[in-house]
Structure 1
Amino acid sequence: MTSDIGTTAMRGLLWSAAQNWGGRLITFAMFAILARLLTPADYGVASAALVVVAFVTMVSEFGFGDAIIQRRDLKPEDVDLPFVVSVATSFLLSGVIVAFAGAFEVWLKAPGLTPILIGLGALAPIMTLSVFQEINYKRVFAFRTLAFRVLIANVVGGVAAVAAAGLGAGVWSLVLQSYVTALVGLIWLWWSPMWRPQWRFTVESLRPLGRFALPVITMRIVDFVSSRVVELIIIRQFGIAAFGVYSVGARLYQILLILLQSVLNDVSLPVLSTVADDRERLGRIYLQSVNFSTFLATPIFVLFAALSPEICDVLFGAKWAGVDAISLPLLLVGAVQCVQHLNGPYMTARGRPGKTLVLGLIKYMIIIVGLLAVSFDRIDHLVAYYAVLQLAVTPLSFAVAAHELGLSYLKVARILFVGGIGCAIAFFGVVVARPFVSPILPHGILSGIALGLVYSACLLAFYVMFARRQLGEIIRFVTTRIGKGKPNAA
């Protein structure tokens, strides 16, 4: 594997793309249909409940997933104790959530939350059971199986939800979707498992996994809390229906982040862990990854941000007016995050999750303090301010990653700067063209296509003039790995 890391990474990348893109695009299509069948209040209540479930699942996993993937000398029985601890914790925390569901409703000022929280009580243990099997699939690069699993689970869950919503089930159609998707995924993974519990519980094997997992889960909790502070403020200050609008507006950003950034993350840690001791080689692979994300992923985020009025109008309709003002600043932040998030897997592969934790703590303290220190009377102003706060430690994040990998910070910054300037020019090209295009073409699909062509033309012209070398590197890498299957020169 180490002799052909480039080909292995590219194949994993393609199957991870199939997993994320196939399943998530279908999920998003179902989401758009459901948005037209349900109300902002329905989405607000369901989203609030699912946030609680997601937190329970994340805490229950304890960060063991990354620790198991990163450890190269892992034996099957080493997973037993982390598995039992995580599953037991998920049941315990789910019971706590169900018992205090009413208190959550009162505290959040979210009418109707109690029955939904109780109804979703069993979801976290189901998801935790799936996580541990999925980890072992990733360890052996079985992304093809994971791709089909996500695709089928999302199709079945989405169809069930749309059917229920069409019959008038309201918010319960979203509960049904969550359960059906989780159960189909669980059955798929455990029907042909890559790992089976040996029921051999050794504390000695838990200790090294725990030492690695502790900073990982701490960072995730801090990340989760800081990202949810804005949601808590929205619910309490603007109401559950406004939170529904925010949830729908944020979904476009979230789905793109999953499609474009998590594809690389899924493959990067298992692959990079195999070459973690070769700092120079790891640094070259990092530069390739940054180049890929900056010139392929970032422009897509900026395109969606530029076209957010047209996209939201077509997808959600007049009932969701104001959604584009939520999605635009978040998408622009995503354009930076899809590159910045690469720093985490590379630091983790080098066995430095503690540095990522420190950076995360600085960032999230800035976000929390910033949100609590300033108040807004408009939700779109609050979201724009929150988006700016998320970029507080971006330069420091890249500087630390470059130093750890033995790279020049200016070399990394040059890639980011050139790609960013191109996207900015294309974005403002759309802004300038919109007043001329909108009166001629109906607002929606046709105007969106026309403005998308303007964006593409501006970006392509900039790339041809100023970024031909970066584009050439991407083309050569892809054609070499896919077309010839040659080993990575790095």
Structure 2
Amino acid sequence: MSNTKKAMDGGKWITVSTVISTLFQFVQVAVLARLLSPADFGLVGVSNLIIAFFQVFANLGFSNSIIYKQESDRNVLSTLYYLNLTVGVVIFILIHLTAPYIISFYHEPRLAQVLNLSSYYFLIAYFGQIYMFLLEKELKFKSVAIIDITGTVMGSIVTVTLAFNDYHELSLIIGALVMQSVKSVLQITFGLRFFMPRLFFNINNIKEHLRFGIYNMGDGFLGYIQSNTDNIFLGGMLGVKMLGYYTIAYQLCVFPIMKLNPIILQVAYPILAKMKENTADLKKSYLKILDFISYCNLPLLAGLFITADGVVPLIYGPGWEQTTDLIRIFVFVGIFICLSHPLYTIAFTKGKPNLLFYLNLGTLIVKVPLVYVFGTYWGVTGIAIAFLLTTFLNMIVNFGMVHYLIGDFIGDFSRNIAKPILFCLLMVGLISLYRLFIGESGLMNVLAEIGIGGAAYLLLTLTYKLSYAELNAYRQGIL
């Protein structure tokens, strides 16, 4: 099977996985918003911050180096495997040692049990992690999809069941642990044919992976700090309740972006890694990735911007109206993030993870003072605006790095993105007219607005973007 065919097949399976997983998690949040308080979501948000922080160090940047080097040496993989397990145990211990300081910072005693349970993630996840990297390296995306779907479904069922039985914030933590346990078991089951660990450990064998991972891990650390500065400051300055509002708004706008983009990026990286010396082809692929991401993400975000005040009470119920203004800010954050994502694929393909490190370092230097000042004067809205400004600046520098790696692309990119932007403006205009002359509240009006917007964007795309030959090619690739 050719790489192109593998990419199409992989894209099909990752799409199925993403749609199902996103649907289950979306329904889960909608149900939990009616059962849990904003403070409960804030507590889990703090726990997620801690887990995400330690995840930066947990795989030591090996995920991308294994794919980049197309690693298959059993001794090397065994050393990486045991090193990962060791790091997981160390992180488990560190979370318990630092928990009192975290609880003191947020002034929230309930965090003790949340952090204690969350720490077990690192005793579970890294038994199967290396097998996931190998499945992606071998382009076994059907297996990846089955693992993701099964874990998400089981985790969501457990989470909602516990929430109905008054486990409050712990329902989210336990559900996440169940999800990761299922995934780890399946990762090992599907991946054992590619790698069986042997009793071998030699740090000298993985020096190249360590060198690759240093910048990768450094970039991850800085990326974590600059991406979560707003959450860290917000929880400490304004409390976990406001963090709960902020988290829900962020999830509604940015969570779909973080789920949709990997449909193509997760498939693209192993393919691009096999043609890393051909800059011309990389440039064409980068532009295609941007084009695809633009057409998928922009209409969703534009539609959410215009319908936010009707969508929020329908999805989350009463008491979450305060998230509406935050959502409209995060819509633009989501746009800048989705356009910035493809750099990561190009940087790893070209063996330049150091660029990502410098990008996140610069963004962090700008973001920290902005978040502190804006948060001090304008509260949660100010923090969201600070996040918006730094995300925009990050995207501008991001494009400059892409230019350095693959050459000039702005002209082609500008011509490509003009159509989806215009289609979105027309879509928003039609929805605005409906809201003005017919109505904007209630289930039927919201559904009508979604239908009008979706139909308008689809019709414009089919008329002015996709030819019959392209549609037929996509159809044949998917079937």
Partner deviation per Cα, 1:430-453 (whole Å, 9 max, x = no partner): 445434332xx6x23222222224
Partner deviation per Cα, 1:131-166 (whole Å, 9 max, x = no partner): 222111111111111212211212112111211111
Q: Residue 208 of structure 2 aligns to which amino acid in structure 1?
A: P
CA drift of 1:460 comes to: 5.5
Q: Distance in 2 between matches of 1:432 and 1:320?
A: 26
Q: What corresponds to 2:15 in structure 1?
A: 17
Partner deviation per Cα, 1:197-256 (whole Å, 9 max, x = no partner): 123223343111122222222111111111211112211222111111111221112321
Q: What corresponds to 2:202 in structure 1?
A: 202
Q: What corresponds to 2:360 in structure 1?
A: 360
Say if 1:99 and 1:353 are closer, same or farther in 2 by CA, change over 3 A.
Answer: closer
Query: What does 1:263-342 correspond to in 2, within 5 Å?
Result: 263-342=263-342
Q: Residue 343 of structure 1 aligns to which amino acid in structure 2?
A: L
Give the CA RMSD over aligned residues: 2.4
For structure 2, the residue ranges without an aligned partner over 5 or more in a row are none
Partner deviation per Cα, 1:397-427 (whole Å, 9 max, x = no partner): 2233134223442222322344334324433
Tell me the secondary structure at the aligned position of residue 201 of structure 1: coil
Corresponding position: 1:35 with 2:68: no
CA drift of 1:26 comes to: 0.9
Larger mean CA deviation between 55-64 and 293-302 belongs to 293-302
CA drift of 1:107 comes to: 1.1
Structure 1 vs Structure 2: percent identity of aligned residues? 16
Query: What does 1:452-467 correspond to in 2, within 5 Å?
Result: 452-456=450-454, 459=457
Contact 1:37 1:165 in 2 (8 A): yes
CA drift of 1:273 comes to: 0.4
Q: Distance in 2 between matches of 1:485 and 1:120?
A: 39
CA drift of 1:117 comes to: 0.6
TM-score (norm 1): 0.90
Larger mean CA deviation between 133-142 and 448-457 belongs to 448-457
Corresponding position: 1:471 with 2:466: yes
Contact 2:32 2:163 in 1 (8 A): yes
Corresponding position: 1:217 with 2:212: no
Contact 1:62 1:214 in 2 (8 A): yes
Q: Distance in 1 between matches of 2:478 and 2:174?
A: 43
Q: What corresponds to 2:415 in structure 1?
A: 414
For structure 1, the residue ranges without an aligned partner over 5 or more in a row are none
Q: What corresponds to 1:134 in structure 2?
A: 132
Partner deviation per Cα, 1:329-371 (whole Å, 9 max, x = no partner): 2122212322320121022112222223222322232222321
Q: Residue 173 of structure 2 aligns to which amino acid in structure 1?
A: V
Q: Residue 370 of structure 1 aligns to which amino acid in structure 2?
A: L
Q: What corresponds to 1:85 in structure 2?
A: 83
Corresponding position: 1:396 with 2:400: no
CA drift of 1:428 comes to: 5.0
Query: What does 1:102-181 correspond to in 2, within 5 Å?
Result: 102-181=100-179
Q: Residue 145 of structure 2 aligns to which amino acid in structure 1?
A: A
TM-score (norm 2): 0.92
Say if 1:434 and 1:378 are closer, same or farther in 2 by CA, change over 3 A.
Answer: farther
Say if 1:51 and 1:484 are closer, same or farther in 2 by CA, change over 3 A.
Answer: closer
Corresponding position: 1:480 with 2:476: no
Tell me the secondary structure at the aligned position of residue 318 of structure 1: coil
Q: Distance in 2 between matches of 1:166 and 1:213?
A: 43
Q: Distance in 2 between matches of 1:35 and 1:358?
A: 38
Contact 1:294 1:419 in 2 (8 A): yes
Say if 1:485 and 1:148 are closer, same or farther in 2 by CA, change over 3 A.
Answer: closer
Q: What corresponds to 1:95 in structure 2?
A: 93
Q: Distance in 1 between matches of 2:397 and 2:55?
A: 30
Contact 1:298 1:336 in 2 (8 A): no
Q: What corresponds to 1:383 in structure 2?
A: 384
Contact 1:249 1:327 in 2 (8 A): yes
Q: Distance in 2 between matches of 1:380 and 1:372?
A: 12
Q: Distance in 2 between matches of 1:112 and 1:429?
A: 47
Q: Distance in 1 between matches of 2:257 and 2:189?
A: 30
Q: Distance in 2 between matches of 1:73 and 1:124?
A: 24
Say if 1:170 and 1:457 are closer, same or farther in 2 by CA, change over 3 A.
Answer: closer
Contact 1:376 1:382 in 2 (8 A): no
Say if 1:427 and 1:367 are closer, same or farther in 2 by CA, change over 3 A.
Answer: farther
Contact 1:56 1:93 in 2 (8 A): yes
Say if 1:481 and 1:78 are closer, same or farther in 2 by CA, change over 3 A.
Answer: farther
Q: What corresponds to 2:406 in structure 1?
A: 405
Partner deviation per Cα, 1:19-51 (whole Å, 9 max, x = no partner): 222123212212211121111111111221122
Say if 1:125 and 1:431 are closer, same or farther in 2 by CA, change over 3 A.
Answer: farther
Q: What corresponds to 1:237 in structure 2?
A: 237
Say if 1:425 and 1:359 are closer, same or farther in 2 by CA, change over 3 A.
Answer: farther
